[in-house]
Amino acid sequence: MIFGATLLDVSPVLAQKSNFTIGTATGTQLSTCPSDPTGVSGNCWGLNVSCPNVPPLQPYDATVKVTNPSGASIGTVIFLTGGTGNDFYDKQFLYGSSLINQVVGVGYTAVQIEFDNPVAGWLTGPAADGNGPLSLACLPSTSMQWVHDNILRSGTPLCATGNSGGSQMIAYALSQYGLSSIFSMVEPTSGPELSRLDYGCAPQKKYTACAICGFGTLQESYGPTIAESGIDPAYTGVVQPGGPCYEGVKGSTQDASLLHHDSTLSDTYPPTLSFPATDIHFAFGGLDTSAAIPEGLDWASMITSKTAIVCVPSAGHMLASSQAGAVQIGHDLINYCKLQP
């Protein structure tokens, strides 16, 4: 493992003000969990989530899978998948099950969340207020708040890790929905990728940024496939060419201001960000040449509170599908998922 720059700030900092409020969620315990022969066992809840601008789904907006340790829980770790989040972590990643079992084995409760809309998971719009991911992020943020209120053992830390789109859920939750107050530690991996949507939804090589893992610089464009399937359903509710991100990748600047507004680094932001209650660890793969690294570093570079950044040389974009990547995530969760002083 090769560690990159560690960004620390020990001066007094104020918590980031939230721009949006979470919704409400009602959980119903399910008789069974979705079948996965390679996954870990657990108990499942279906969540009905109500957010002001998010279209309702049937029968549930999200499914939560909880795996408890054999003794009293020493903390709870939320695991979030990439893309649009419509999968469980133990199913999406080659070493997902072993990573979760490792965390549970030392005493943590593991919580996996999948988002049930088959079109594009939590990124299925359109939102009622005209925004895209910025407003739709109420769904995962509210789901994580439900875990805090209903699963977390009192007096223990709540932590989270998410890869790619999963790291994006964490970034929106902290930056826009005020959830840094409930998280002791988070580990975004391979992202967050929507730090500047207007850069990602632009032609290849139009925007580049500094990267780590020996890359120097990498382009920030998502390309047409991700634009069509992973971004534009937030605006159109369907997977097809012609949405604002797809058109931006093809060269249009018509929706650039909307895309900037919907970014993690939105035009609603102050110049810098601070999450003093949350220890933030970033991890990237040395074989990942996607926009995930420069976009993720865009967000990391604006945070003045404590962060750390690591490069795992032998890992690709799907960090927990690499043994070294899963080892890194497990190491960080077990060592840093602690109540903050």
CATH number of the domain to which 103 belongs: 3.40.50.1820
Share of the chain above pLDDT 90, in %: 85
Residue 307's DSSP bridge partners are 280
pLDDT at 268: 79
Q: Alpha-carbon distance 305 to 314, whole Å? A: 29
Q: Alpha-carbon distance 50 to 227, whole Å? A: 27
Letter for the amino acid at 62?
A
DSSP 45-67: EEEEEE-TTSPP-SS-SEEEEEE
Domain co-membership, 183 together with 283: yes
| CB-based burial, 20-53: b 16+ in 10 Å, e otherwise | bebbebebeeeeebeeeeebbebebbbbbbebeb
Residue 269 pLDDT exceeds 80: no
Residue 267 lies in a domain: no
**Per-residue model confidence as pLDDT tens digits over 215-259:** 999 999 999 999 999 999 999 999 999 999 999 999 999 999 999
Residue 21 lies in a domain: yes
Going by pLDDT thresholds of 50, 70 and 90, the confidence category of residue 18 is low
pLDDT at 85: 96
Token reading at 197:
């949507």
Share of the chain above pLDDT 70, in %: 94
pLDDT at 9: 33
Residue 300 lies in a domain: yes
Domain co-membership, 310 together with 176: yes
Q: Alpha-carbon distance 266 to 318, whole Å? A: 26
Domain co-membership, 144 together with 21: yes
Domain boundary at 236, 260, 284, which?
A: 260
Residue 97 lies in a domain: yes
Kindly state the average pLDDT of the residues 81-97: 96
Least confident of 94-98, 116-120, 181-185: 116-120
Number of structural domains the chain divides into: 2
Domain co-membership, 129 together with 101: yes
Residue 22 pLDDT exceeds 60: yes
| CB-based burial, 76-91: b 16+ in 10 Å, e otherwise | bbbbbbbbbbbbbbbb
Kindly state the average pLDDT of the residues 12-19: 49
Q: With the CA atoms of 158, 164, 165 and 171 taken in that order, what torsion angle do they form, in degrees rounded to the nearest 10?
A: 50
Kindly state the average pLDDT of the residues 276-298: 96
Residue 164 lies in a domain: yes
Residue 31 lies in a domain: yes
Phi, psi of 283 (to 5 degrees): -135, 135
Angle, in degrees to the nearest 10, between helices 292-300 and 165-175: 20
Going by pLDDT thresholds of 50, 70 and 90, the confidence category of residue 39 is confident
Residue 128 lies in a domain: yes
Q: Alpha-carbon distance 263 to 260, whole Å? A: 5
Domain co-membership, 127 together with 249: no
> By residue range, what is the domain housing residue 239?
200-260
Kindly state the average pLDDT of the residues 42-67: 90
Place of tokens 């632009």: 202
Going by pLDDT thresholds of 50, 70 and 90, the confidence category of residue 300 is very high
Domain co-membership, 149 together with 28: yes
Residue 128 pLDDT exceeds 60: yes
Phi, psi of 267 (to 5 degrees): -70, -5
Domain co-membership, 187 together with 243: no
Domain co-membership, 182 together with 206: no
Residue 341 lies in a domain: no
Domain co-membership, 181 together with 225: no
Domain co-membership, 153 together with 116: yes
- The burial of 101, by beta-carbon neighbours within 10 Å (0-12 exposed, 13-18 middle, 19 or more buried), is given as middle
Mean pLDDT across the chain: 91
Domain co-membership, 241 together with 123: no
Residues in the chain: 341
Domain co-membership, 50 together with 148: yes
